[in-house]
Amino acid sequence: MNTSVTNFPHLDTELSQFSVYQLLNEAQDAPKNLNPKVIFLACSGLIEQIGTRLGFSVFECNNLHDFLRIGLNRNSFVLVTIGKRQECSLSKLKELLSVRTKHPFSIIVHEQQNGEELLLEIKKEYHKVQKLASIEKIISEKAEELVNREPKLSGQSNSFNLIQRNEYKYSREFLRLRVSEFIEKKPEDFLENAINQIRKPFSKKS
């Protein structure tokens, strides 16, 4: 996001008063109904081997095109794939998914793990992504709450989509940045190694 922090100075005071620690606690205590999907990408046989033992929504895709075509990137997800892929490298895959999804995700590279090890790793990443999805939800709710207190612009109808308002976008990205910085300073207090999944939509201006 390229919005300058000086564009909405009237929001800065209210945004800075939000307690990040409290926001994270609210996310952690929120009902766990933001369930990521587990997708096996070009991992023939794995879904039969361990998929039924996960207890999560599980999908299998032969290639990245199918994954995107059926819209599995429109939800938070854990993607299990092999390291050596013909479609694109692992780094390109991460880059592409970062662009094509607005939701938290994790990629697990399946090499030679046995079924039990892979099962545990998927469950671990699943719960991390679920926590991140809860954070995103709380951030959006706080931004919506704040913007709804702002007077509507002249001529703006009641049907104007909230997420189209620049004030909402600004508030959401401001809170995302504060949460990201907080977790990076104290990762052991909340998400440990999952901090890389918190995207930084904009940087503070010097």
The pTM (predicted TM-score) of the whole model is 0.73
> 101, exposed or middle or buried, with CB in 10 Å at 0-12, 13-18, 19+?
middle
Long-range contacts: 33-37, Cβ < 8 Å, 24+? 34/76, 34/130, 34/133, 34/134, 34/137, 35/130, 36/75, 36/76, 36/77, 36/78, 36/104, 36/105, 36/126, 36/129, 36/130, 36/133, 37/72, 37/75, 37/76, 37/77, 37/78
> 34, exposed or middle or buried, with CB in 10 Å at 0-12, 13-18, 19+?
buried
Q: Whose CA is closest to 119, among 20, 46, 26?
A: 46
Tens of pLDDT along 113-131?
677 888 888 988 998 898 8
pLDDT band for 83, please (50, 70, 90 cuts).
Answer: confident
pLDDT band for 78, please (50, 70, 90 cuts).
Answer: very high
SS3 118: helix
Sign of the alpha-carbon dihedral angle for 105, 127, 74, 43:
positive
Query: In the block, which residue shows the tokens 């780094």?
Result: 91
Note the pLDDT of residue 190.
56
Residue 203 backbone phi and psi in degrees, to 5: -110, 150
Note the pLDDT of residue 154.
42
Whole-number Å distance between alpha carbons of 124 and 118: 10
Cβ atoms of 167 and 1 closer than 8 Å: no
CA atoms within 13 A on the CB side of 53: 13
Query: In the block, which residue shows the tokens 């991992």?
Result: 43
Rounded mean pLDDT of 164-173?
82
Q: 58: which 2 tokens?
A: 């599980």
